[in-house]
Amino acid sequence: MVTIVNYGLGNLGSIVNMLKKIGVPNILTSDPADVVAAERLILPGVGHFDKGMSLLHERGLMDALNEAVVRRGVPVMGICLGMQLLLEGSEEGSLPGLGWIKGWVRRFPNMQDEDGKPLKIPHMGWTDTYPVAGKRLFARWDEDETRFYFVHSYHAVCDDPADVAATAHYGIDFTAAVEHGHISGCQFHPEKSHRYGMKLLTHVYRQETAA
Amino acid sequence: MSTAKKQLPRVIPCLLLKGHGLTKSVQFKDFKYVGDAVNACRIFNEKEVDELMFLDIDASRENKKPRIEFIKEIAGELFMPLGYGGGVTSMHEADQLFAGGVEKISINTAAYTNPSLITDIANHYGSQSAIVTVDVRKPLIGGYKLYSNGGQVPQKVALLDHLRRMEDAGAGEFVINSIDQDGKMNGFDLRLIQTVSEAVSVPVVALGGAGNKQHILDACQAGASAVAAGSMFVFHGKHRAVLITYPGRRELKELFGIA
């Protein structure tokens, strides 16, 4: 059973749809008790970093998440803003993040493409993504070309390069996914990334079932 | 590690819903039945399209409510970002559509009277989920004119004033639809795309007129971040036989000179 943490930010319908499609039982909850008792967690979310952290505090989910993930070692996967919240903080706001992954979330600098045109921020669209070998998220990954759907203005910068699970390029090389032990996250949206996303989520949840 | 230095634009089939079927217009009239919506979606899903956009023309032309259950049924089988437009006038409707798996909601008619709806959507779901679509006609004399209610009702506000107001309200993306070019398949109104792209800072999606791959490149060179099209992806040949097609990623990379 995968517990999707609904703290009131972003669109969760497509995550539920994809998990249903790949046959992974899931519940969508905002109840801290469900989070404490979870077997596996997804921390989704879209929007402003501080708004995400404030909502986690207001809804009593901070303690529940720490209890589950830090004390009990429940595997968690952050998606988009949910991934950014795993880090220590963000240039977007002033509140501390969950701090489970060492590093900071930075805004894309002003950048230009090869023709000298300014690159629009947010970075929105399908981008080739390069998994890092040996990471659980991409175990037995057999795609020649991997691409995912991204929508973001900020990206994670990990203190420890070993926590980077995938990279992509938009003006600069940036971290597309993070992983530290049982804590992982992706900046892109696997739930909106066709077979690539489906494969990623299938792998993650099959492995954890087997483990 | 090799990385692509350029970003491919999003290429978005834009499908018009009428009843449970799809239809396609020329200059917002002369509707032709294209096929069953659910079936067409399955094909577009298999072709791994970048995004898909649905506009319910019954809802926008006849002030009907969005058909939430039908949209949910479609969304449940689609694993790419799905945009929906047509008859959305309240946050309650938006909530239901998002919960059903819709990723972006396009507001057109309601934007003229109720810009706070855009602000509410952007605040709750992120500005990338709040699209404002405008239907634009170029009269023989004078500047571009805006129309609401599926191209039926002229609006007084000037194009760029409206878009700037919408950007302030929280719109994260604009779909710029040329009524004159709709269904013509002879290229976008590039001057329109350029005018808008230079005036706004959020991504601009060009719609209306695409007939071939070159048109996609042209629109992007004029400043569009993404390209949407209807006829190009559902019609084939000069007799407009129905055939669903979508350019492969390799083809697009070649077109855009990305190794």
Condensed to tens digits (0 to 9), the pLDDT of residues B182-236 reads 999 999 999 999 999 999 999 999 999 999 999 999 999 999 999 999 999 999 9
| Nearest chain A Cα distance for residue B76, angstroms | 6
Whole-complex ipTM: 0.90
Cβ of B6 within 8 Å of Cβ of A195? The answer is no
Least CA distance to A127: which residue of chain B? B7
Q: Is the pLDDT of residue A172 over 50?
A: yes
Residues of chain B with a CB closer than 8 angstroms to some CB in chain A: 1, 3-10, 45, 48, 50, 75-77, 79-82, 98-103, 124-126, 128-129, 172-173, 201-203, 225-226, 249
> How would DSSP label each residue in A144-174?
SS-EEEEEESEEEEESSGGGEEEEEEESEEE
DSSP β-bridge partners for residue B17: B22, B56
Cβ of A194 within 8 Å of Cβ of B45? The answer is yes
Interface test with B, best of A18, A114, A126 (most B CBs within 10 A): A126
pLDDT of residue B167: 97
DSSP β-bridge partners for residue B10: B226
Chain A residues close to B5, C-beta within 8 Å: 113-114, 169
Element (H, E) at A131: strand A123-131
Chain A residues close to B202, C-beta within 8 Å: 120
Annotated catalytic sites of A, by residue? 80, 189, 191
A55 touches chain B (CB under 8 A): no
Q: What is the pLDDT confidence band of residue A211, given thresholds at 50, 70 and 90?
A: very low
Chain A residues close to B128, C-beta within 8 Å: 46, 122, 124, 151
How many percent of chain B have pLDDT more than 90?
87
Q: How far apart are CA A79 and CA A39, in angstroms?
A: 18
Cβ of A149 within 8 Å of Cβ of B100? The answer is no
Closest in A14, A119, A169 to B103, CB measured: A14
Residue A67, classified by CB atoms within 10 Å of its CB into exposed (0-12), middle (13-18) or buried (19+), is middle
> How would DSSP label each residue in chain B?
----SSPPPEEEEEEEEETTEEEEEETTEEEEEEEEHHHHHHHHHHTT-S-EEEEEHHHHHHTPPP-HHHHHHHHTT--S-EEEESS--SHHHHHHHHHTT--EEEESHHHHH-THHHHHHHHHH-GGGEEEEEEEE--SSSS-EEEETTTTEEE-S-HHHHHHHHHHHT--EEEEEETTTTTT-S---HHHHHHHHHH-SS-EEEES---SHHHHHHHHHTT-SEEEESHHHHEETTTTEE------HHHHHHHTT--
Is the previous residue joined to A122 through a cis bond, with omega within 30 degrees of 0? yes
Query: Who contacts B228 (Cβ-Cβ below 8 Å, separation ≥6)?
Result: B11, B12, B13, B14, B53, B175, B205, B206, B207, B210
Mean pLDDT of A37-58: 95
Angle subtended at Cα A14 by Cα A97 and Cα A151, rounded to the nearest 5 degrees = 55
Q: How far apart are CA B210 and CA B224, in angstroms?
A: 13
Cβ of A14 within 8 Å of Cβ of B249? The answer is no
Closest in B77, B80, B125 to A149, CB measured: B80
Single out the residue of A76, A200, A205, A210 nearest to residue A138, CA to CA: A200
pLDDT of residue B231: 96
A118 touches chain B (CB under 8 A): no
Closest in B79, B82, B102 to A198, CB measured: B79
Q: What is the pLDDT confidence band of residue A18, given thresholds at 50, 70 and 90?
A: very high
Q: How far apart are CA B209 and CA A100, in angstroms?
A: 50
Cβ of B76 within 8 Å of Cβ of A46? The answer is no
Measure Cα distances from A195 to A27, B52, B198, B202 in Å: 22, 16, 36, 29
Residue with tokens 């497509």: A14
Q: Provide φ and ψ at B257, rounded to 5°.
A: 65, 35
Angle subtended at Cα A97 by Cα A99 and Cα A103, rounded to the nearest 5 degrees = 55
Single out the residue of A153, A148, A190 nearest to residue A42, CA to CA: A190
pLDDT of residue A207: 63
Q: How far apart are CA B54 and CA B64, in angstroms?
A: 15
Closest in B50, B102, B203 to A126, CB measured: B50
Q: How far apart are CA A129 and CA A169, in angstroms?
A: 8
Cβ of B126 within 8 Å of Cβ of A46? The answer is yes
Interface test with B, best of A4, A9, A14 (most B CBs within 10 A): A14
| Nearest chain B Cα distance for residue A166, angstroms | 12
Single out the residue of B18, B100, B82, B99 nearest to residue B44, CA to CA: B82
Q: Is the pLDDT of residue B1 over 70?
A: no
Q: Give residue-wise pLDDT tens across range B88-111.
A: 999 999 999 999 999 999 999 999
Q: What is the pLDDT confidence band of residue B237, given thresholds at 50, 70 and 90?
A: confident
Residue with tokens 């963000």: A90
- Chains A, B: CB pairs < 8 Å: 106
Q: Please give the mean pLDDT across all residues of chain A.
A: 93
Q: How far apart are CA A194 and CA A149, in angstroms?
A: 9
Q: How far apart are CA B107 and CA B113, in angstroms?
A: 11
